[in-house]
């Protein structure tokens, strides 16, 4: 079995694959400092709850955008899972050629998403990831990472509202019954959700316009992406496991 780990700014997402099948997935917060032993015990506990034995895992791969957790996390994997993890970064084969002006500036998580989208759906493809940031990445027909757009994520925008204004409360992010809000909470929900829908549709439209590819496949992932996908016909596929699948694919490319 393969253990895949996606370390994001908000959460660490874990997955276990038996061949190409995702047999277990779970997550924990990434912002809380932990020792390698704390990571190890929590990982073993969640594997057990998902009926997976650490003894059955023979490989691990990690992608991260939070470098300061890596020492403790990789130490936990080595000690408790007993595998030496592959870390997605320079020198790791992905099958994606980065042709942007500064290739090293492209986050490894975005490359993992690009690999999964290209391998699963072909190119050209526009990959949307609704996370702490909302990213839009254009992958060409021949598998080149050609351009990327970065915007604040929905939760990041919401956090700015309730932390930087004196009277606005912390709210659940969901689509309100109507955009014609008549009280504070639904007013904030309307602005956040419908604002993200509008941004998403406009950026997709402009990417297709500037590339001249009107039939480009649009694939979305990320926790809050499900809300946006349900409200627009400009996203073709919502794939919640895209990043985990990308890690599996990259591991297979580097297995030999």
- 109 among known catalytic residues: yes
For residue 231, give the nearest of 179, 170, 172 by alpha carbon.
Answer: 179
Start-end of CATH 3.30.420.40 domains in the chain: 2-87, 97-247
Q: What is the pLDDT of residues 123-160, one digit of tens each?
A: 999 999 998 899 999 999 999 999 999 999 998 999 89
CB 113 within 8 A of CB 251: no
CATH for the 2-87 domain, from 3.30.1360.120, 2.40.30.10, 3.30.420.40, 3.40.50.12240: 3.30.420.40
How far are the Cα atoms of 5, 173, 220, 231 from residue 234, in angstroms, in the given order? Answer: 30, 21, 10, 9
CB 226 within 8 A of CB 92: no
101-113 mean pLDDT: 89
Q: What is the pLDDT of residues 176-225, one digit of tens each?
A: 999 999 999 999 999 999 999 999 999 999 999 999 999 999 999 998 89
What are the φ and ψ backbone dihedral angles of 112, each rounded to 5 degrees? -60, -45
pLDDT of residue 101: 82
pLDDT of residue 31: 84
For residue 15, give the nearest of 246, 255, 256 by alpha carbon.
Answer: 246
Report angle CA 220, 121, 226 to the nearest 5 degrees: 20
Domain 97-247 class in CATH: alpha beta
Q: For the sheet with 97-98, list strands across it.
A: 97-98, 144-152, 133-139, 125-130, 217-221, 237-238
- Of 6, 109, 129, 137, the catalytic one is 109
């Amino acid at each position: 079995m393969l253990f895949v780990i996606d370390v994001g700014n908000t959460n660490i997402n874990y997955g276990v694959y038996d061949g190409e099948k995702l047999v277990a997935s779970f997550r924990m917060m990434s912002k809380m400092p932990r020792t390698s032993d704390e990571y190890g015990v929590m990982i073993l506990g969640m594997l057990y709850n998902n009926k997976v034995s650490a003894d059955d895992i023979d490989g691990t791969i990690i992608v991260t955008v939070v470098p300061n957790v890596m020492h403790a996390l990789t130490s936990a994997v080595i000690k408790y899972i007993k595998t030496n993890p592959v870390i997605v970064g320079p020198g790791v084969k992905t099958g994606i050629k980065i042709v942007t002006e500064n290739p090293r500036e492209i986050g490894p998580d975005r490359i993992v998403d690009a690999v999964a989208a290209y391998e699963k759906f072909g190119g050209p493809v526009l990959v949307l990831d609704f996370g702490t940031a909302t990213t839009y990445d254009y992958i060409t027909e021949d598998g080149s990472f050609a351009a990327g757009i970065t915007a604040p994520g929905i939760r990041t925008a919401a956090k700015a509202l309730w932390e930087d204004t004196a009277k606005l409360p912390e709210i659940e992010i969901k689509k309100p019954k109507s955009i014609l809000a008549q009280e504070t909470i639904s007013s904030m929900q309307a602005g956040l959700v419908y604002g993200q829908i509008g941004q998403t549709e406009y950026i997709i439209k402009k990417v297709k316009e500037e590339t001249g590819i009107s039939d480009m496949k649009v694939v979305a992932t990320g926790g809050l992406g499900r809300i946006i996908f349900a409200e627009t016909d400009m996203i073709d596929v919502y794939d919640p496991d895209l990043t985990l699948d990308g890690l599996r694919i990259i591991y297979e490319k580097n297995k030999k």
